Amino acid sequence: MPMKKTIRIASIGVPASFHTVRRYAVDLDAKTTFVDIASYFDEQAARDGLQSIGMAQVMLDTMPEPGEDPRVFCERLLVAPMPTEPLNPAMAGNPNRYLFADAEIVE
């Protein structure tokens, strides 16, 4: 499902409010998931098949459970609120990890 949250695409300085998981990969040994998210100016741009205006790459420090839909897993973790406790040190080099925190998942 797409996600709605207005963020600023740093490379071009414009807002994007509609985001979709485009690709994911699971590292079974490291137990991590890598997610590529395409960002669009708005929902209509995505629905019209226009090119995304930005891509974010996020590493999740976990992976889906057996039988869990990987895309739903990625979206659920991407929109989860940023934790108040200190972040996992492994996430220090992962600046986009909470870029989509508190986004709304839409149909």
Residue 97 lies in a domain: no
Instruction: Quote the pLDDT of residue 84.
Output: 82
Residue 10 lies in a domain: yes
DSSP designation for 44? H
Residue 94 lies in a domain: no
Number of structural domains in the chain = 1
Residue 65 lies in a domain: yes
**φ and ψ at residue 77, rounded to 5 degrees:** -75, -35
Instruction: Quote the pLDDT of residue 96.
Output: 87
- Residue identified by tokens 């209509």 is 44
Instruction: Quote the pLDDT of residue 92.
Output: 65
Residue 52 lies in a domain: yes
- Structural domain span for residue 55: 3-80
Residue 87 lies in a domain: no
| Regions of the chain with pLDDT less than 50 | none
Beta carbons of 4 and 18 less than 8 angstroms apart: yes
* Beta-sheet pairing, 32-40 with 14-27: antiparallel
Residue 91 lies in a domain: no
Residue 60 lies in a domain: yes
